[in-house]
Amino acid sequence: MPPKSKQAKKGAAANSPAIDTTKPKPETPNWPPMQPLVPASDLYLTDLLPDQIVTIPHFWTTTLCKTYVNFLASLTLTTTPGKPKKGDAVRVNDRFQIDDPLFAERLWSGTALKELVTHPVIDGEALDEAAKRKLWGGDVLGLNSNIRIYRYSAGQFFDQHYDDANNISFPSSTSPSPIPAKTTWTLLLYLTSPATGCQGGETVFYPDAPSRREAAPEPVVAELEVGMALLHRHGKDCLLHEGKEVTQGEKWVIRSDLCVRR
């Protein structure tokens, strides 16, 4: 595992890859309604790795995930280049990328996500304001409008990498001027799992060794679960991680990022 002090391979940066302006801008999809949903009172945050990886089991219902998989399969997806740019991790998947503030807002405030993040109770323990700001990296504004859809078919994977953070302009509901913001956590929403025929594709994190003389802790494995949301720190605090090869079926993921005020 490369130490943080050295150049690491980059992966799914919050605003990377940039949308190619030489190509026609994709039309905004007519996304299906986000229904049915589980109420916030029936959901909870749980630590997969304290202060680094948080999950929300059953964030989306099985029915909603199936609806979205069927819809997303109708989009025009682009296969990532087989040979990555220098310094980038090897990634083999199909993807769709769109800047859609309305979808980001629906995913944020039209679901239980906003309530769970802004009033966090992790494994039964409520966080006060100071602890909340420390956890998320500042005052949370919502989700990055850069929405990415990933499909991994059998044989596809995402090699070990770090997710970059980005400075962005966040739309304001009270002012014509955007709010200076930055991304701090990656959001991954898993739509498929072994229950739907997807084998492999686990997200595996590699915690740093406490010191040069000590061995690194065991990898932390996030198994695929239909409808589970996973949040993990990115930027300077990101853990080395990878998306394991899918061996059967398809792995579908919706990706965005948590944004805080700069």
Query: Burial code of 145-160, b = ≥16 C-beta within 10 A, e = fewer?
Result: bbbbbbbbbeebbbeb
User: Residue 154 has which token pair?
Assistant: 């059998």
Q: Which amino acid is at 234?
A: H
**Is the CB of residue 113 less than 8 Å from the CB of residue 229?**
yes
**Nearest-angstrom CA–CA distance, 249 and 65:** 15
- Confidence (pLDDT) at 1: 38
**Nearest-angstrom CA–CA distance, 127 and 250:** 37
For the chain, the distance separating the N- and C-terminal CA atoms, rounded to the nearest angstrom, is 31
**Is the CB of residue 154 less than 8 Å from the CB of residue 248?**
yes
Q: How many helices (H) and strands (E) does the chain have?
A: 4, 19
CATH class of 41-80+91-261: mainly beta
Q: Which amino acid is at 28?
A: T
Ramachandran quadrant class, 109 (left: phi over 0; alpha: psi -120 to 50; beta: rest): alpha
Contacts of residue 209, Cβ cutoff 8 Å, sequence gap at least 6: 215, 216, 217
Closest among 227, 233, 222, 225 to 257, alpha carbons compared: 233
pLDDT by position in tens, the chain (length 262)? 344 443 456 664 444 444 454 567 889 999 999 999 999 999 999 999 999 999 999 999 999 999 999 999 999 999 987 666 666 778 999 999 999 999 999 999 999 999 999 999 999 999 999 999 999 999 999 999 999 999 999 999 999 999 999 999 999 888 899 999 999 999 999 999 999 999 999 999 999 998 889 998 999 999 999 999 999 999 999 999 999 999 999 999 999 999 999 9
- Confidence (pLDDT) at 16: 47
Q: Is the dihedral of CA 151, 154, 155, 158 positive or negative?
A: positive
The whole-model pTM stands at 0.91
- In DSSP terms, 200 is beta-bridged to 246
Closest among 196, 209, 201, 195 to 239, alpha carbons compared: 209
- Confidence (pLDDT) at 24: 74
Which DSSP category does 45 fall into? B
- Confidence (pLDDT) at 247: 99
Which residue shows structure tokens 């919502």?
A: 142
